[in-house]
Structure 1
Amino acid sequence: MNRLFALACFFIYSISFAQNIGFEKDAFAHTYSIVARDTITGEMAVAVQSHWFSVGPLVAWGRAGVGVVATQSFVNPAYGPEGLDLMENGMSAEQALTQLIEQDEGRAYRQVAFLDDTGSVSAFTGENCVEAAEHLTGKHFSVQANMMLNDEVVTAMARAYMQFDKYPVAERVMEALKAAQETGGDIRGKQSAALIVVGPEKTSKEWKEKKIDLRVDDHPEPVKELDRLLKVSRAYEHMNRGDLAVEEGDMTKALEEYGAAEKMFPGNLEMKFWKAVALANNGRIEEAKPIFQSIFEEDENWKEMLTRLPKSGLLSISESELEELTK
């Protein structure tokens, strides 16, 4: 009971302190995170988990062709956009972080990591971050954590990231999050997680800014759910490439991409449907027919959907073939 009382007092003090130095009450994200850059593709990622609601928008920041930022503990969200601005204007990760830390009166309570587009990293853990709190930087990555169950979490994250060096950067940082959780994770438990990946080239098109942008705002197993969403995201990358192939009239490529997606999630009706459409467009009506029938048995709306496709040019078959597929 004394321990619970002490912890409650700490949280009350924490909120009071945050208000006294000008932070919002909700800027309180004790957590573990990783920033990293893929040395082959140049893609940069930041991933995070916390026992706090919707941790992603507060902690994880990224800009294509510039870098990524993780700002946590008593969060000053300004480290995100301001740090990215400094790096975009020519500062290294170390220079940008040093400047912001020197200007911050609350730096003793901060934990921050910057990574720039060259892979240079810089991290800071304030002396008043809650134990267990530390960071560890390596080649093109940094892992950091505070309020952990034990002091092995950060080392486990770094080890996992380096071990899975053949994975794409998104999957590598996910392995780091899994390792953190398996080692003990946040002393308070689990609630939310996020992952963003940005590309190596700057872009003026906002919709191309993030290659991956996934959030789990409130879940009993946020890291597992984030991992599942990443797999779904990868499947839909195949779906998107299939759509582009259809637009270009390359039905062979469309079938290849839709088929790859459907293999990843064989129970997904959307993926099964477009694979069957690609088969039909490639003259493989007999192969498409049983797939369509299995879809229609689960949801008749897909049959109506199929009849609407010829008018839009997405299905290039004869009326008799369409009747055969929908009877």
Structure 2
Amino acid sequence: MKKLFLCFTFLCFSSNIFAQFSKKHEPFAHTFSIVARDSKTGEMAIGVQSHWFSVGTAVSWGQAGVGVIATQSFVNKSFGIRGLALLKSGKTAQEALDILLSNDGGKDVRQVGIVDAKGNVAVHTGKSCVDFAGHIKGTNYSVQSNMMLNNKVPSAMSKAFQDNWRLPLAERVLKALEAGQAVGGDIRGKQSAALLVVKGTSTNKPWDEDHLVDLRVDDHQSPLIELARLLKIRRAYDHMDAGDLATETSNMKKAMEEYSAAMKLLPNNIEMQYWTAITMANNKSIIKASEMLQKIYAKEPNWREMTKRLPKVGILKVSDLDLKELTK
């Protein structure tokens, strides 16, 4: 009878606790992640990988000039929104974390990492997170993981992040994730990953440039490999954007440098080749531009029609004779 009572009590207790943290709006996200800040640029980032669909939409939260937050294990998504609001109001990372956990009935199964815009770091691993679970708090960063194959993940991530200090923040974070995967990662395998980088200070135009990198791989056999590919493309388009800006200010030398850097990263990208050729044409290098355009037209004829439309809106500024050369 005593055994039955104890069993019944345990089931009721487990049911109540489970009900507190397992809801439709609180998904599972057993995973490993890193939140970090670059002390030189002030940029802040969060990187995450998991064997869970679209992990970035649940775990990753960030705001320029405010901070970044990873909320995982049995996720409480409100920690992202409420946590950022607390940081914006002037709370430190630790103060924000303490408030979030103070009235959370499921805090024993939560895992949270926070870095604020001043470089303060706070991290929590609940005592009931699934093994292997743990974290490492460092200067300007923390790494946290749960449901790992072994206990090596946090130390591997921490070492990789510190060893790659020369790299831009996004690449450093990616190195940390790759190191975590290399020593075992999630015991269930891998499915999705995400990388978010925000500015250290806000432009007050969040629709514009506050998010420097915002990449998600929702479902992939090798999400970190795919994430690295996307980051490379992002860097190439950063150069393209800088080239476009230089073109707007008639700095054709700068524009060509940026377009060339983009093409070096993605040599087979037709659009990058195309806009480089158009810039060359605007810079009076008609013959070279034409040679490049002919190769593009051979692969995709629609670009020829595009070229014919550009003079009307002032993007291509050439004579009628030069336009015939460029569209032959």
**Which range, TM-score by smaller chain?**
over 0.9
Could you tell me which amino acid in structure 2 is paired with residue 304 of structure 1? E
Per the alignment, residue 226 of structure 1 pairs with 227
1:4 alignment counterpart: none
Q: Distance in 2 between matches of 1:80 and 1:20?
A: 18
8 A contact 1:18–1:25 mirrored in 2: no
Residue number in structure 1 paired with 2:302: 301
CA distance in 1, matches of 2:81, 2:203: 16
Q: Distance in 2 between matches of 1:97 and 1:24?
A: 23
- Using a 3 Å threshold, how does the CA distance of structure 1 residues 288 and 116 change in structure 2: closer, same or farther? same
- In the TM superposition, 1:9-48 aligns within 5 A as 18-21=18-21, 23-24=23-24, 27-48=27-48
1:139 is matched with 139
Determine the structure 2 residue equivalent to 1:271: 272
Check 1:98–1:62 CA distance in 2 against 1; reply closer, same or farther (3 A cut). same
| Distance in 1 of aligned mates of 2:262 and 2:44 | 24
Question: What is the CA distance between 1:158 and its match in structure 2?
Answer: 0.4
Q: Who is 2:11 aligned against?
A: none
Deviation at 1:206, TM superposition (A): 2.3
Render the CA deviation track for 1:272-317: whole Å, top value 9, x for unaligned. 0011111111111222122111100100000111111111111111
Q: CA RMSD in A?
A: 1.7
> 54-63 or 281-290, which moves further after superposition?
281-290
The percentage of counterpart residues that share the same residue type is 52
What is the distance in 1 between the residues matched to 2:254 and 2:291? 21
Aligned to 2:327: 326
* Cα separation, partners in 2 of 1:269 and 1:17, compared to 1, 3 Å: farther
User: Are 1:238 and 2:239 counterparts?
Assistant: yes
In structure 2, give the amino acid aligned to 1:264.
L
1:212-258 alpha-carbon deviations (Å, 9 max, x no partner): 11100111111110111011001001111111122222222222211
CA distance in 2, matches of 1:15, 1:182: 36
Alpha carbons 2:160, 2:176 under 8 Å: kept: yes
Q: TM-score scaled by structure 2? A: 0.93
Between stretches 173-182 and 310-319, larger displacement belongs to: 310-319
Match of 1:87 in 2: 87
SS at match of 1:53: coil
SS of the aligned residue for 1:39 comes to: coil
Question: What is the distance in 1 between the residues matched to 2:27 and 2:142?
Answer: 22
Structure 1 residues 90, 20: CA separation in 2 closer, same or farther (over 3 Å shift)?
closer
Three-state SS of the structure 2 residue aligned to 1:206 is coil
> Gaps (5+ residues) in structure 1?
1-13
CA distance in 2, matches of 1:161, 1:64: 21
CA distance in 2, matches of 1:22, 1:306: 56
CA-CA distance at 1:17 after TM superposition: 5.5
Structure 2, unpaired ranges of 5+: 1-13
1:232 and 1:226 mapped to 2: Cα distance? 10
SS of the equivalent of 1:115 reads: strand
- Correspondence 1:160 to 2:160: yes
- Secondary structure in 1 aligned to 2:321? helix
Distance across 2 between alignment mates of 1:260 and 1:25? 44
Counterpart residue type for residue 96 of structure 1: A
Residues 181-208 of structure 1, C-alpha deviations (whole Å, 9 max, x = no match): 1111100001110111110112332213
Question: How many residues are aligned here?
Answer: 315
Conserved 8 A contact 2:111-2:125: yes
